[in-house]
Chain A
Amino acid sequence: MSKKKSISRRDFLKLTGIAALGTAAACTPVATSTPVVKPTEVPTKAPVVVGKPFDGKVVRMHAITGGNYDELYKLIPKWEEKTGAKVEFVFKGNGFETDKRLVQDFAAGTVDYDVCWDHSSFFSQYVKAGGLEPLDNLFSPDDLKDFIPRLVDAAKSDGKLWVIPRHFDISCTHYRTDIGLSKPPETWDEFKTSAMDITKKNPGVFGTQFAGKEEALSGRFYEVQTAEGGQLFDDKWEPTFNGPAGVKAATMFADLYAAGAMPPDMTNFLWEDVAAQFVKGVIGVYTEWYGWYSYFQDPKSSKVAGKFDIARQPKGDGGIHSGWAGHHGFSITKAAKQKEAAADLIKFLTSVEGNEQEAKLGILISRQSVWDKIIKEAATSTDPLAKKRLELALLQAKEDFKTPPLIAEWLPMSNILYPILQKIILGDVAAKAGLDDAATQVRAMMSKAGYY
């Protein structure tokens, strides 16, 4: 049996000391043990530039992606070059994913970014959660004077500015000109009659359709009942959408469905589904966002290319046009570490240059000066609707642009409302009874949220 080698405490300390010295030597900066190289002798690929406003700063960004959204981000290297800052994307997702992530981050206090995507329908919930920084001190009236005023108004709550509008969307009436519709419906009553007539006269074509679930359905209901003279709430935040205007709007949806003038599975449709129905040529007239225009006019993807026209949305008994609208934009988080740089980045992304970049893709941008320019350019376009759609969209932005109430409870309210609207459409409950039930539930929700 060999004797085990033991190590004394003294030997152990010696060895540890040697190891520590070795480690320290290895970690000593090379510059102390190597000859100093003169800066002029070192070839550098990226020379350090001094004097840029945000040199070395990193702006972390939480952004929307998909569709045409990313095109704008291609301008970011230009801003980085100009300011010396870097932009780091911490998250990219579609609108609903981004919203969900923001709500959860603000609730959990895990915000580690400076700039976030925002939307006029959603920002109130982030404000309520204490997640956003007011922008009034970072953006002067001069910075905002070129923006369409209704868009800026829709970015404010409690007298403070929270979002800088990037672009907006609003719906207009899309109607087929090849199936006997010579002019667009002027009122929602005419719309209903036209849709039923189209269904009767054109086998295989549904008169109309709506996106039939979630906020998409609540929003459509909101804009029809608003045109009919209704409001979602009175000035004391009591629900009023179960009044005559709301009942008339909900009844129209139910009647159209019962008459077979809408696809039988419309209550499972979202935006992409209704757009797909239209390009298949099975829909006569409906309200749709401008964003799909190039898809609709592309003969490769659309059977209705060149066979439809657009118009302002119908009026209701209230004498006003429907115009559920919203805008995308950028906000700065309360937790932002680089607020000045973040504001500068937003100014750059929503600048004339940024707007022009997005306008090329057919997106409805937020600056009046860019609108003037693109409308002028569209006059020479070979596309017969190019100028008309821009003028119409601008008119709607100025006169019909209506957001849902700018409160954090809009989506929870929609969450109560849309299943009941579906019940009304499918005939499970009468319009008045269903809306009364929804109003009771919404009131309870608003009461819990401290509105009364």
Chain B
Amino acid sequence: MIEQAQSQAHAPVKGFRFSKSERYLPIAFVLPSVIIIALVVGLPMLYSLYLSFTDYTLTSGSSYHFVGLDNYYHLLFVDPLFWTVFGRTILFITLAVNLEFLLGLGIAQLMARAIRGQSLARTLMMMPMMFAPILVGLQFKWFFSAQAGLVNNLIYTITGTPHLIPWLIARNLGFITILVAEIWMGTPFMVIILEAGILSLPQEPFEAADIDGASGWQKFQLLTLPMLMPFVYTALAIRSLDIARAYDVVNMMTGGGPANRTELIWTYVNRLAFTGHQFAMGSAMSFITVIFSFIFTYMFFQNVLKSRWAGDMGEE
């Protein structure tokens, strides 16, 4: 009886047509938001795009000129630092995302299997996400300080001899420290998404695998991971874009320095556009980065769709 009522309620009404005013109603509802977004986000972006084709600086007032693709040419073919910084940013994203994924997957597996204390573990896991990135940066700057830092003090306690390791300064170490901070901050997100994915997987294939005598590794490799891929791609895409925008943590810990050793794309944009007043150049760099990010995101979501399609086929 109830099912019948529900099916009737959802059944399409034959010959039903929206009146003209009703057809425009959804558009009318959405229009204010679209206008506000266009004004607040779209126009400044377009203006910034326009400025990237000029020689505008923060102190040039209204006297600036159209220079075509000069800024883009300078960045892509003249400025050696741009490609170094761009490459380092890619390396940073790659290492951070992959390490976060591996750690996140491991922790998510453990948490999904935990019999007791799941809620407490989840709450504790989410703690790093509760800190503002600027505080995380400050905290890790202190951890890795050469003279007063927690890490060097710990080493001193263990070895009994003082080691003034300049974590934030030394070549490669500076990069590793900002990587550690980023991973600490981002892993909980991976855990939450992947654990949600693991808990939502159907149990029948695992039961069948058990009957067939599959090992734990085989079940993980051949069942868990393939079925988890839509979640994995989504988490990877979100975190990649998040890390690509990494600024606060790096700025607090090293400011991109010393000697550009930890400079990432957004600390460089900030230094160029605001401290250096080269606003047009900074805009051009931002748009180059945005274009790369766009391509990257598109490719990622193509993979999400593919993996989803593969998952559906597998189920059939």
Contacts and interface: CB of A to CB of B under 8 A. Distances in A.
A339 to B, nearest CB: 20
Interface in A65-107: 100, 103-104, 106-107
23 contacts: A106-B59, A125-B59, A128-B59, A128-B60, A128-B61, A129-B58, A129-B59, A130-B61, A212-B258, A214-B275, A265-B145, A265-B169, A267-B259, A268-B168, A268-B257, A412-B278, A415-B271, A416-B276, A419-B257, A419-B259, A419-B260, A426-B259, A428-B259
Nearest to B147: A263
A374 to B, nearest CB: 36
Contacts, number: 89
B56 to A, nearest CB: 9
Interface string B291-309: 0000000000000000000
Given A265-B147, A267-B257, A419-B260, A107 B276 contact: no
Contact of B59 (A107, A213, A423, A426): A107
B169 A264 contact: yes
Given A100-B274, A264-B146, A282-B147, 15 more contacts: A103-B58, A103-B59, A104-B58, A107-B279, A129-B61, A264-B165, A264-B166, A268-B254, A268-B255, A277-B147, A415-B271, A415-B275, A419-B258, A426-B258, A449-B57
Contacts of B57: 412, 449
B169 A125 contact: no
Contact of B258 (A128, A268, A448): A268
Contacts of A129: 58-61
Query: Interface size bucket, A side?
Result: 20 to 34
Given A128-B59, A415-B276, A265 B259 contact: no
A129 B274 CA distance: 14
Contact of A426 (B61, B169, B277): B169
A268 B169 contact: yes
B164 interface: yes
A416 B281 CA distance: 14
B61 A213 contact: no
B248 interface: no
Interface string A409-421: 0011001100110
Nearest to A130: B61
User: Chain A contact residues: over half helix, strand or loop, or mixed?
Assistant: helix
A422 interface: yes
A419 B257 CA distance: 7
Contacts of B62: 130
Interface in B150-169: 164-166, 168-169
A279 interface: no
Contacts of B274: 100, 103
A125 B278 CA distance: 13
Interface in A120-143: 125-126, 128-130
Interface in A372-423: 408, 411-412, 415-416, 419-420, 422-423
A265 B271 contact: no
Given A265-B146, A282-B147, A415-B276, A213 B258 contact: yes
